[in-house]
Structure 1
């Protein structure tokens, strides 16, 4: 929870991480639960980038205020880099395997976040990179540092960071929340093992990019089918 021991930006940062972002995503999920998701609007990816930039700025201001260096620590060793590449390859194969079992409702929700046309790929590259930087610096970096310093419990801090990060992806549904929680634990373990955020940022960004590229042909086909259905109805 936000603490009076932190300065203004530190408190605002913790409010964003633990309250505002999870609350907003729960609201979005409730809006679409059990019914057809709203049509994705053309500028959704631009808004996502703006939101990520604002979130990163708040994180950096809070870190500067509390004199926390987010990108300190050693660069990852070659062994960890190889393990990261192998893990990402396995995840990619797994994603390609499960994509055939996606429900229409999941596809509609996915279109609110993921690219559904090749022209959106440049934006998705930016979103993936910004997600890796902003979310790792926020959840695995600053929030973990603040919570551990505030209550002295590593496990409580870890639980709050994982929960907040998972709920921040509530638009994906309960299965998505659980998957995101597992990913968060893996990222925390990676940061703990490498003693820095560098590799976690790269893995996070590549994973998000990979998800978008794998989902693109499915969502592109689904979007065309939806347009045809709407044309028939009209």
Structure 2
């Protein structure tokens, strides 16, 4: 009888060890995940049909989740399409509504990644995907009309070369006003620009535009 009880104890202990080992193995083999939420907004109240949201990486497409047909409010209001966990890493595209869009989406373990999809006439809008907190804020500002398209302009730089809207399009740019006869705040701005030039990538344009073009000719500049 004692031998039988001992055998049962050994069997129970072995089973418990096997279950624990399987549990920890599953934890080790499961990829670390982070939180991601996909929002939708529009220039004016709209609606988007039911769809699946997928993310793309070097490993292929990952199904993030599904959503039902839903109303989409005008910016800055948003509608939540999907909230889910995804393996941490960087994704280069998102697909929904039968369309895929390039986007740099970074899923991290310690931070919520937010993605905003602009909706127009019931569909995700081309070029309307914003990933990350700052980009989402930018997207909401654009959709709500708080940011206006840059108008056409025609200027010349200090070398007498043409400087137009096309010179800036496609670049991040910081623009400040100045004039050469300013002796107080303008030198401070120019000094700040010199510091920024050392710290920012060369792709970022730093532009100072004179408010006194009659005095500040290319020869003076």
Q: Which has the higher relative contact order, 1 or 2, with Cα contacts under 8 A spaced 6 or more apart?
A: 1
Q: Establish whether TM, by shorter chain, passes 0.5.
A: no
Quickly name the TM-score band, shorter chain normalised.
under 0.3
Q: More strand per residue: 1 or 2?
A: 2
TM-score (norm 2): 0.21
